[in-house]
Amino acid sequence: MANKHLKIRIYNGGTVAMGPGKAELLETIDTCGSISSAAKQMQMSYRRAWELVDVMNKCFNQPVVTSASGGQHGGGAHLTDFGRFILKSYRDLVVKAQLATELELNQILSNLNQSE
């Protein structure tokens, strides 16, 4: 049942503002210091990673990531203080939801077909 679990996504209208993949991308950008390096580490295209960052920045009332173009001193990207706040809030929300739903979630998961 490793692939059967609860996923929490936060929507802004019809757009996913934050979810497990976007949280992972933010963490990887924070570690790597660039969108390009984060994309490579996550095995996704730079374009896809940039689009996800753009969506997050547009969904929230402040940017979660800021970036500088490459050049003589190189480019890079980093989480803003607001981005770190949103990421921590999301991670805390996931932990609280897992704790609050553990019994019911386990009851549902234990009754799923094993082939999926």
pLDDT (0 to 100) of residue 68: 80
Domain CATH code at residue 68: 1.10.10.10
Position 79 in a domain: yes
Q: CB atoms < 10 A from the CB of 49, how many?
A: 23
Give a yes or no: residue 48 inside a domain: yes
Query: Which residues is 68 bridged to in the sheet?
Result: 76
φ, ψ (nearest 5 deg) of residue 15: -105, 135
- 3-state DSSP assignment of residue 112: coil
Say if 71 falls within a structural domain.
Answer: yes
Give the count of domains, the chain.
1
Does 2 fall in a domain?
A: no
Cα(90)–Cα(3) distance, rounded to whole angstroms? 20
pLDDT at 51: 97
Domain assignment present for 22: yes
Domain housing 65: 10-109
Interior/surface letters 84-98, b for 16+ CB within 10 angstroms, e for the rest = eebbeebeeebeeee
Express each pLDDT in 26-62 by its tens digit: 999 999 999 999 999 999 999 999 999 999 999 999 9
pLDDT tens-digit series, residues 73-112: 567 899 999 999 999 999 999 999 999 999 998 999 899 8
Is-above-0.75 flag for pTM? yes
pLDDT at 46: 94
